[in-house]
Chains A and B, each alone.
Chain A
Amino acid sequence: MAHAYTPGLRVTPQTLLQRQRQLPLKGEVVVSQGDSVTRDQVVAHTHLPGNVTTLNLVNILSCTPEELPNYMLKREGDPVEAGEPIAETRPFIKWFKTTVKAPITGTLESISKITGQVIFRAPPRPVQVQAYIDGNIVEILPEEGVIVETTGAFVQGIFGVGGETWGPLHLISEEPDQILIPDQIDNSCAGKIVVGGNLLTLDAIDKARESGAVGIIGGGIRDADLRDLLGYDLGVAITGTENTGLTVIVTEGFGPIAMARKTFAILSENNGKEASISGATQIRAGVLRPEIIIPESSIHEQTEESGNLGLIEGALLRVIRAPHFGQVGKVTALPPELQTVESETHVRVLEVEFGNGDRAIVPRANVELIEE
């Protein structure tokens, strides 16, 4: 296969970024091209069609569907108030009259002469889209949304839960391999995004939420803790809408694993800076990874993306599967021929030298490039 390695996640101290901010349905864009926007500013809004309520009148009025229009007091498209009469019978003796009242306030959408079904629609629900990042509007998508552009640090995580939020970064761990201890988290974290180094334990996440933090970032999380956090076993990695009280982002994977040095360096350099984060992850049909965007990054050098250089001797990588899971090293050889590994699988491999000088043969599919 032409590309047998995981190209790696983007981790860059300074880059130009665009985010599309789109309404679920057509609506109105309320900013103009060239405008400078803040993360919480509304850029577009619309109204979602209201919920629908149905009522089958033929049973209530004891008539056939064809006769139904004769009993209606309201026509299709008429506005109705909850409790307002919408249909009634006209018996000889008024005492036997049956009146049907509107179940909701809204519009009478349709009257069916086939089924006797009357459909009411509640008033439209307003929906707003915010800018999400501080930046400039570079493009207007007429009636649909905008594209916001910013320059800043950008870190993609590997997995997250919870949606978009923002706040200042609050670094607690001093080293990327330090595990956050709940006692290190206190009320000073309120409204902030807590940054740890290694594992995020459930206790630490709970403490962060109780302290009012809006997000928490770390190297890894144990699946057992994730299950307790969500209240269910996550089967398919499609996240972003969880009700966890704060957004959780892990940069490396499941289990205790130190945050990559480069990632940790970017987050610690920007300690205290405002960041926009999203935990939304989707690893299928349109890969979406959680992200951390720091528009006012302290690091101003523009770095080249090294990810597209591919696997070359000397490239820095992380092993992403047992037996060397999580270890970081440099490529020392790229033998072209297929080799047989312990499981008897014939694969393309590479030789890697880890920080402690140990060398190992690893399938190329089991490594991830780290940008230097």
Chain B
Amino acid sequence: MDKLDVIIATDCGSTTTKAILIEKKDDVYRQTYRGEAPTTVEAPYEDVTRGVLNAIQEVEELSGRQILDGETIITPARDNRGVDIYISTSSAGGGLQMMVGGVIQAMTGESAQRCALGAGAIVMDILASNDGRQPHEKIERIRQLRPDMVLLSGGTDGGTISHVVELAEFISAADPKPRFGSGYQLPVIYAGNKDAAREIERTLGDKTALTVTENIRPTLEGENLGPARHVIHDLFLEHVMAQAPGYRKLISWTGAPIMPTPGAVGLMMQTVSKQQNINVVGVDIGGATTDVFSVFDDIFNRTVSANLGMSYSVSNVLAEAGLNDVMRWVPFKIDEADLRDRIKNKMIRPTTIPQMLEELQVEQAIAREALRLAFVQHRALAVGLKGVQAERTLSDVFDQSEGGESLIKMRDLDLLVGSGGVLSHAPRRMQTAAMLIDAFQPEGITRLAVDSIFMMPHLGVLSSVNEIAATQVFERDCLIYLGTCIAPIAQGKIGAPCAQYEIGLPEGTQSGTLNIGDLLHFPLEADQEAHLTLHPDRNTDAGAGPGRELNTTVKGGTAGLILDGRGRPIVFAENQSERTDQISRWSETLDLYPR
């Protein structure tokens, strides 16, 4: 491989284009400078490269390295001039919007959904033979949506032909047009029963830009999402990106294919999980959408909650969660009408920031609910394959979702990573840790981290070029370890003891009793470890089983160790004033806000 010592990477988001410079120094890759500028895909500029050049220019000014020669990126790097490669991700213009189809909604429909989501798409609708809609309703819906592309699957190999051909007939009858470039044919990927491929070509070949690839569900027992995901990425570049303003030029600049932003983040999560052999959950909460990623036992899943976010969609979080669920996190009362107006004002002027403490607390309460709802949606999709015959024990029945076994096992979660403005830019890191714990409610021992400046997309696309560089920067500069959450699962009345603890901290051992409803905090630096012993009572499970002692080593971070006895789900006091006291107490323990 050619020398790769200086790398410039950008992520073209819907509002901001972020550039980072990565340099190899003393044989180690480090992220050294960053710059950002407004994204320019819309009028009056309508050329994404403008924003890219502006962001790179900021990096030039800060680093003193000349990267641009007019509008050309200088390659390769020599001394303090130029870079060895330029790479980029993109979610500008609303990202990649797809419609997917499968014969049975819970089987091939869901596989198609997982395939598209994993490739970084927003799934606008799932078409299925059994989705309960009349044919004309399906056709009308396809016509209305104007997706960037369609992924059609259905039928295991050797299975049904007629049902999947019927779906193709609906797509053909709708004669859909792509979102960009009305003169172009809509890209359709067929990844279903191979025996139906010829009929699908006959039905859709003339009306759409059809690509046939391997079946995503060749058997009921297995998914094969890789080939279709590659086709999605190729078509994203060829059809979707190439239609967006300025992207043809951008594509010609990059040394590796441009990836959809969430696709790149997902790739990074998988790389980390594989290299450290851990289970990971990651979340990226943006202004409009919230992405959740998980890798459990090497199975990767990603979901996007299209209308859960902190600015454009903030009002929808309130609508979906309800006022009470948002306000339960806030230790004061606020007039409902006034709160609604404030939230709507944030929606119509999305770039404002909370100046008052009270406003910050409300915003972080909304973030907890947005994250919680997004994770609920993720858990619903991150399940084992449905339709597979499997032996089950009685205890499994309580952890099943319509036949698909949940893949998200909170007790097996090793690392929870947060990113996105409200988490990355919280004034105190402890606030980030608290939001993650309250929203995801990890069980047992879970390490918490935050993406310092949202560089996971850049590192994801970098990992496709140089995995070592990507993981070195990820470990050293991208992640800020917040600490560890220790949450025994207890049942009982608030105030009742549930476990005895001993923590061997560098300055001496601390021991005591953890009561139900308590939150305890022990400072422990990021480079420090502590030995933890928990003696749970017989109704409490600290991770080793009910009543069984747990001995382990835990790692610190900017927020230290948090011993959480509040139960799962967290038990709130029913009485309003008691609940306010409860929230204030938790907040004081963690020193969340200035007093």
Contacts and interface: CB of A to CB of B under 8 A. Distances in A.
Interface stretch (B341-349, B468-476, B483-491): B341-349
A322 B342 contact: yes
Given A110-B173, A284-B14, A321-B352, A54 B345 contact: no
Interface in B306-321: 307, 312-313, 315-316, 318-320
Contacts of A222: 337, 340-341
B162 A365 contact: no
B340 A343 contact: no
A236 B316 contact: yes
B258 to A, nearest CB: 18
Classify the secondary structure of A's interface with B.
loop
Contact of B353 (A25, A65, A365): A365
A351 interface: no
B165 A343 contact: no
A93 interface: no
Interface in A94-150: 109-110, 112, 114-117, 119, 121
Contacts of A321: 345-346, 349, 352-355, 359
B135 A255 contact: no
Interface stretch (B36-44, B396-404, B575-583): B36-44
A320 B42 CA distance: 24
Classify the secondary structure of B's interface with A.
helix
Contacts of B139: 51-52, 54
Nearest to B139: A52
A114 B359 CA distance: 61
Contact of A283 (B143, B166, B312, B427): B312
A285 B345 contact: no
Contacts of A337: none
Contacts of A3: 38
Interface residues of A, number: 59
A248 B337 CA distance: 20
Q: Taking each of B315, B320, B345, which has the highest tally of chain A beta carbons within 10 Å of its own beta carbon?
A: B345
Contact of B94 (A25, A285, A323): A285
B427 A343 contact: yes
Contact of A109 (B166, B173, B343): B173
Given A284-B312, A344-B594, A363-B353, A54 B135 contact: yes
Contacts of B320: 235
A51 B140 contact: yes
Contacts of B313: 235-236
Contacts of B288: 284
Contact of A235 (B172, B199, B316, B348): B316
Interface in A151-179: 158-159
Contacts of B356: 322-323, 342-343
Contacts of B135: 52-54, 117
B352 A365 contact: yes
Nearest to A250: B348
A237 B315 contact: yes
B54 interface: yes
B230 interface: no
B165 A115 contact: yes
Nearest to B340: A223
Contact of B175 (A49, A233, A346, A347): A49
Contacts of B344: 159, 223, 226, 234, 253-254
Contact of B319 (A235, A283, A362): A235
Interface string A274-306: 000000010111110000000000000000000
A-B pairs, 8 with minimum CB distance: A235-B316, A344-B427, A54-B135, A223-B340, A343-B360, A255-B341, A254-B344, A254-B341
14 contacts: A54-B139, A109-B173, A110-B172, A112-B169, A114-B166, A158-B348, A235-B315, A320-B352, A321-B352, A321-B355, A321-B359, A325-B345, A346-B427, A365-B351
Interface of B: 14, 16, 36-38, 42, 54, 58, 93-94, 135-136, 139-140, 143, 161-163, 165-166, 169, 172-175, 177, 182, 199, 288, 307, 312-313, 315-316, 318-320, 337-338, 340-357, 359-360, 425, 427-428, 594
